[in-house]
Structure 1
């Protein structure tokens, strides 16, 4: 196991550092203290090189200069909150509306906008980890309560990268974080995710309105492009989505939570590279990078469907749909969530 750190530019005149976690198999995760961003996730190749499993850049400005939250930590609340309002214990709260009338990904000053404190690193014979922390106040992000959150990335010799979130607050607030990494385990010259195969342990997805806010209805995946109950070539699923407003997926699947059984898998048949996702929560938001905005990149290349974000979280907009889950965080309480990725190569 190895741990190293290198400078990675500046954000708002503050130095950004990349922490490189490497296991004994040569698997390597690069993590920035800016936004807890997963900058790279490299695996050995058959020719003795390394391949990145995710969209990446060596230029910090390409991460900070786009509005797609590329590879960053997201919170306090991932996804959308309808009308930027919610109730906890009967009290109504209003938070910043940063996407029309809705709140997206915790507002414009959420987890993804900050340089996190490095609490420490740990190196053992079998694992290497990095713990980051952030404290947010209502004055900073408009959500109630002073929240202290930690995020620990751990890479082990079984080729698992685990992300554990933990949070406390001095007042009632909400906590539903995620990681917004875009995946594409194909070779860098592959322009799209079309040839990848996706499996999702899901029977239903959520119906949404024009603002992508859940209506409360759960729609069966069977017989629709949303059905990934067997590994499905993404080109086949994306083709019928070409006539939609999004030209792809930006949707919410209800999944079976498990840290032992796969929630989802993403595989490149050509290289044999595969990512298996585990999560202890019931939602998976997937976005197929539908834009051709020039700030959407992979090694400097720009294409729609360049990667797929797989955001493990509690189902979106739960304050208005209690049956989706409970993301309330009360004083004196600590909430923890885990996301795990296993890579094969």
Structure 2
């Protein structure tokens, strides 16, 4: 007797499975977005924590205090996640002992000579908090020390948090009511994009950046001297006493500052005896105002790669030269050269250097800059 086998049921099952897989492929990437309490400031302000996770596992956490990026979990070549930014586990540490880990810096990032500047023939004296000079926005009302208002959003596969803050006229000596918005966006391309925007009702100056300290092997895993760095900058702004720029724009060629080709951060760092490491403003090559590749960093052991794109004209490379036994997340200890910063920005002391790109913002104008950190593994 001949047995006839029918393959119709098998074909039907295969068709159903194929249809299911096709439907999944057409669905948007799965992302998650949450908001939870992070603590309360001594004056009674509630601080919220926003957690953004994309479909590839990249996860960013941002708090409303200081608009701080508190953690950034990035996969390595094996898909293993590690938090690549330095920080603390609790709000109290951010309030009492934070060396600007992950913070938005303003109103003016970096230094202003003599804590003063002239604008439209009027001298403005601002907070002197670095000897006789100004740095990173001043004293107790600089942007990393205030609670921002935060709200989350979704836009297709992009998720993010918008943070707003009004800096009143005269705060830290700066003129004008400055309305600021900082947006952290996480995309399905493994990008963390930060958009800074501001308007004013009086002529003023503004220069915002993010001061995250990175270690692509994982925060607290040791030094970053073996990280390979490229900075797309043929020039830098030499600095004198107090790291105030002299006004000159000089070539990096033939100096330890030359990262136009990938080099290990620690390869020539010992030559920088005055600063004990890198703390230099680079002049980027490209069209200021359009997004360009500013830097690329590779950590050989994990394979993690971070590309930095920005619309800003400069980037400050800092290698945590003065950090000494700071107890951070999970009890890990952060030391000198255990991290690096790539602070995209206008140049230090631009308000007092007329040939530097202007940082002046006037009523009716919008200050708007974008920096994108793109992650991959190889």
| TM-score (structure 1 length as normaliser) | 0.94
- CA offsets 1:152-200 (integer angstroms, 9 cap, x no match): 1111101111111111111111111000011110145631011101100
Q: CA RMSD in A?
A: 1.8
Of the three residues 19, 33, 37, the one matched with 1:7 is: 37
TM-aligned CA deviation for residue 297 of structure 1 = 4.1
Q: Identify the residue that residue 174 of structure 2 maps to in structure 1.
A: 143
Q: Report if the CA contact (8 A) 1:262-1:276 is conserved.
A: yes
Q: Deviations over 1:218-256 (max 9, x none)?
A: 221111110001111111031222xx1331111111112
Q: Distance in 2 between matches of 1:72 and 1:272?
A: 26
1:257/1:280 contact within 8 Å kept: no
SS in 2 for 1:138: coil
1:165 is aligned to 2:191: no
Alignment partner, residue 18 of structure 2: none
Say if 2:106 and 2:206, in contact at 8 Å, map to a contact too.
yes
- 1:1-345 equivalences under 5 Å are 1-12=31-42, 13-45=44-76, 49-66=80-97, 68-108=99-139, 109-118=141-150, 120-188=151-219, 190-241=221-272, 244-257=273-286, 260-295=291-326, 297=328, 299=330, 300-345=332-377
Superposition deviation, residue 10 in structure 1: 2.7
Moved over 6 A (4+): none
Once the 2 structures are TM-superposed, how far is the Cα of residue 3 of structure 1 from its aligned partner?
0.5
Could you list the per-position Cα deviations for residues 273-317 of structure 1 after superposition, in whole angstroms to 9, with x for gaps in the alignment?
A: 011101111111111101243436464213211111110001111
Which structure has more strand as a fraction of its residues? 1
Deviation at 1:130, TM superposition (A): 0.8
Task: Say if 1:313 and 1:48 are closer, same or farther in 2 by CA, change over 3 A.
Answer: closer
Distance 2:75 2:103 in 1: 24
Q: What's the CA shift for 1:48?
A: 5.2
Q: Distance in 2 between matches of 1:141 and 1:327?
A: 17
Whether the 8 Å CA contact 1:298–1:306 is kept in 2: the answer is no
Tell me how far apart the structure 2 counterparts of residues 48 and 205 of structure 1 sit (CA, whole Å): 37
Contact 1:62–1:295 (CA<8 Å) still a contact in 2? no
The 1:122–1:81 alpha-carbon spacing in structure 2 relative to 1, beyond 3 Å, is same
* Structure 2 unaligned spans of 5+: 1-30
What TM-score do the two structures reach when normalised by structure 2? Answer: 0.86
Larger radius of gyration: 2
Using the TM superposition, give the Cα deviation of residue 47 of structure 1 relative to its aligned residue in structure 2, in angstroms.
5.2
Deviation at 1:6, TM superposition (A): 2.2
Q: Flag the 1:67–1:32 CA change in 2: closer, same or farther, 3 A.
A: closer
Query: For 1:172 and 1:232, how far apart are their aligned partners in 2?
Result: 42
- Call closer, same or farther: CA 1:254–1:216 in 2, change over 3 Å: same
The answer to whether the 8 A contact 2:85-2:218 is kept is: no
User: In 2, distance between residues paired with 1:254 and 1:140?
Assistant: 30
Q: In the comparison of the two structures, how many residue pairs are matched?
A: 342
Give per-residue Cα distances to partners, 1:29-57, cap 9 Å, x unaligned.
Answer: 11111111011111234555421122133
CA contact (8 A) 2:215 2:340 kept: yes
CA 1:60–1:237 in 2, change beyond 3 Å: closer, same or farther? Answer: farther
Report how far residue 261 of structure 1 moved.
Answer: 3.8
